[in-house]
């Protein structure tokens, strides 16, 4: 089983979206990821689970407005 960490470039290619989109999903939609130094890394099975639960459509972070 291939359970290695995917790079930002690899996850962009896998999902067919831009670096900016992935960054926005991490910041605003609880996309499963881990920052290792300056690099973001991703587990394919965690991303697939997140997408199966609705991905960015269903996982918007709650923003407290003051």
- 6-61 confidence digits (pLDDT tens): 999 999 999 999 999 999 999 999 999 999 999 999 999 999 999 999 998 877 76
In a domain, 51, yes or no: yes
In a domain, 65, yes or no: no
Count of CB atoms within 10 A of residue 42's CB? Answer: 23
In a domain, 63, yes or no: no
What residue numbers bound the domain in which 28 lies?
8-58
Tally the domains of the chain.
1
pTM for the model stands at: 0.82
Question: How far is the C-alpha of 60 from the C-alpha of 16, rounded, in Å?
Answer: 20
In a domain, 64, yes or no: no
In a domain, 48, yes or no: yes
Give all strands (DSSP E) within the chain, no chain letters. Answer: 34-36, 39-41
In a domain, 2, yes or no: no
In a domain, 47, yes or no: yes
């Amino acid at each position: 089983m291939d359970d290695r960490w995917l790079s930002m470039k690899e996850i962009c290619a896998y999902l067919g979206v831009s670096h900016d989109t992935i960054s926005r999903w991490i910041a605003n939609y609880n996309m499963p990821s881990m920052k290792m130094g300056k690099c973001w890394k991703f587990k394919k099975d965690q991303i697939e689970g997140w997408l199966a639960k609705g991905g960015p459509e269903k996982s918007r972070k709650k923003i407290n407005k003051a």
